[in-house]
Structure 1
Amino acid sequence: MRIAHRVIGTALVATLLTQLTACGTLFWPDRRGQIDGKVDPVVAVLDAVGILFYVIPGLIAFGVDFATGAIYLPHGTQAQVDPAKLRPAVNPDGSVDKARLQTILEQELGQHLPLNDPRLIEHKGSVQQLAAFGLVPAA
């Protein structure tokens, strides 16, 4: 009888731990960081199943997937822009003019990127980080 309790307890703990992690973040970690797009129905259904069995962990899974952007379908395209074409968007003091950058990206990529979106996460770099990538600061 004691072994049955351990097996049930272990199964319950394993189930709760898997439900506390968001499905999209767990299965497709490369999707994290997206700020918009079409919702992936597979991730939404998996998170909804979590709500059916365990309300709080299911809601947490939805929240984590929306917060990380893992619930959105990937856009499927990647693009690179020549750094020389981006130089006009850099001011003499090293700051980036978002309006000019957005115009350049729209011309090169043919897509409207919302650079003024409040959900956009902006990372600051340093000279050491540029050197690690073999780049020389030229601002």
Structure 2
Amino acid sequence: MRISSRVIGGVVVAALLTQLTACGSIFFPDRRGQIDGKIDPMIAVLDAVGLLFYVIPGLIAFGVDFATGAIYFPPGKTAQIAPEKLREAIGADGKVDNSKLQAILESELGRSFPLNDPRLIQHKGSVQQLAMYGLIPAA
């Protein structure tokens, strides 16, 4: 009987300690220091699970994650590609070949983009924008 109470006590102490340190701060320490942003649902759900089982530690987990900013997604990252490399995707008629553009983006950025998606909204650029990148309008 004494061993089982020690095991149960150890499990309860371990569970309380993990909830007191907050999930987002443990899983994503690089997110600390953010002020605002979009809330990561995975961290919010993990904090809510702590709230369901242990009310006080769950509230502390939410408080710590909000106070440190670990509950927010990291800010958007940007990437740039030299205009000279993008010229390969422009055809002789001045239209952009989506398959060539997708291949360039995948090779340069290491990510795939759904350029063939029918929901994709394409905006036309102005002559000034093309001149800014050193491109000559052709059409």
TM-score normalised according to structure 2 size: 0.54
Deviations 1:56-92 (A, max 9, x none): 110010011011100000124279xxxxxxxxxxxxx
Deviations 1:5-61 (A, max 9, x none): 111111111111111111001110000011111000000000000100001110010
Q: Which residue of 2 aligns with 1:69?
A: 69
Moved over 6 A (4+): none
- Matches of 1:47 and 1:74 in 2, distance apart? 18
Q: Which residue of 1 aligns with 2:11?
A: 11
Q: Which runs of 5+ in 2 are unaligned?
A: 80-139
Question: Is 2:21 the partner of 1:21?
Answer: yes
The alpha carbon displacement at 1:4 in A equals: 0.8
- Matches of 1:78 and 1:6 in 2, distance apart? 52
- CA, structure 1 residues 78+34, in 2 after alignment: closer, same or farther (shift >3 Å)? farther
Q: Which residue of 1 aligns with 2:55?
A: 55
Q: Number of residues paired by the alignment?
A: 79
Q: Aligned Cα RMSD in Å?
A: 1.4
Q: Which has the larger radius of gyration?
A: 2
Q: Which runs of 5+ in 1 are unaligned?
A: 80-139
Q: Which residue of 2 aligns with 1:2?
A: 2
TM-score normalised according to structure 1 size: 0.54
